[in-house]
A = this chain, B = another copy of it.
Amino acid sequence: MKREEEEFSRQVTALDVAKHAGVSRSAVSRTFTPGASVSASTREKVMKAADELGYRVNQLARSLINKRSDLVGIVAANMDNPFRAQQVEHMARELVEQNFRPILLPAEGEENPSRVIGMLLEYNVSGVIVTSDTPPQSICQECVSLGVPMVLINKGEIDASVDRVLLDNETSGRIAARHLYDKGCRQLASIGSDKPSYSLSVRVKSFQAACKELGMNAPGHFSAPISDYNGGFTAAEAMLRDMPDVDGAFCITDYMALGSLDYFRLRSDRKVPDDLKVIGCDDILQASWAGYDLTTIRQDTRLLAKQVVGALTARFKNPLAPPDIRMVDVSVVERATTKTS
């Protein structure tokens, strides 16, 4: 079935197959073009010849005509964050599933954005997905102004007419406040980042609003330069110092929550959940580890990925449609850090 003799010869082309099958080049092309009209007999002949020769369509040549490469750029940063890594993996998986090819472009802030832009534009990517704490503005603007379909994940501050997928941050904050309240906490605080992204600041604001509605004192807010483990660690320290009577904390990401939990356990005398209850957001894998067992608000990254790719394909079909904003539902996963004694 397979012949391996021509390792270093030129790749087999549609013409080769055509000759071998005794048909025309177009017949071959049509056989491999989804919506085409070929008789069953010729199709069979072509398939046989193609199989014997080990023929594969050259998508590069095809996309030169179709004007769509089916390449999709994933611009991602902060992949040390487990949530981000999982996001990227599921996105890539979903893209492959839908017959797109994910090309991964790591990009921290504004580090060599021109190179990334070049990769995107010179390869005629069909679309771009951006997921990053600090999305590279210049990349987004360039794509938008050139009409390259783009989907932003959990970004809201960019006012441009761009498709977005975001989890229900509004509800997340409210759920967090409500959950802590139900568990008997009355002195709440939130732990976040100095320069929060849109998503993260919405979480804090809705958390604060919900606290007010529930008739609690205005919650404290403590933040660190970066929303990672160390950030959670240091913010937790600040919290206990400046707000000693805190009895419930909402960490805007699980990644920070892990740091906070370790601070409480290792550097303070507060016992979680007895003296202090903690709730996070994202439901990263680590949250379910026995060492943390963190109550959190789940974002289903698999669903998120589906929504993102869905938004992208919708945009392909209708490039002129108004910007699409999709919301992903959230739900509480109750674990040990908010248990009542």
Contacts and interface: CB of A to CB of B under 8 A. Distances in A.
Give the interface size class of chain A.
35 or more
B285 A266 contact: no
A85 interface: yes
A94 B106 CA distance: 10
B56 A121 contact: yes
Interface in A1-52: 2, 4, 7-8, 11
A324 to B, nearest CB: 18
A225 interface: no
Q: How many copies does the complex hold?
A: 2
B96 A58 contact: no
Interface stretch (A60-68, A151-159, A172-180): A60-68
A110 to B, nearest CB: 15
A105 B92 contact: yes
A291 B319 contact: no
Nearest to A119: B101
Interface in A274-321: 285-286, 289-291, 319
Contact of A290 (B82, B89, B263): B263
Interface in A95-139: 96, 101-106, 115-116, 118-119, 121-124
A104 B64 contact: no
A57 B122 contact: yes
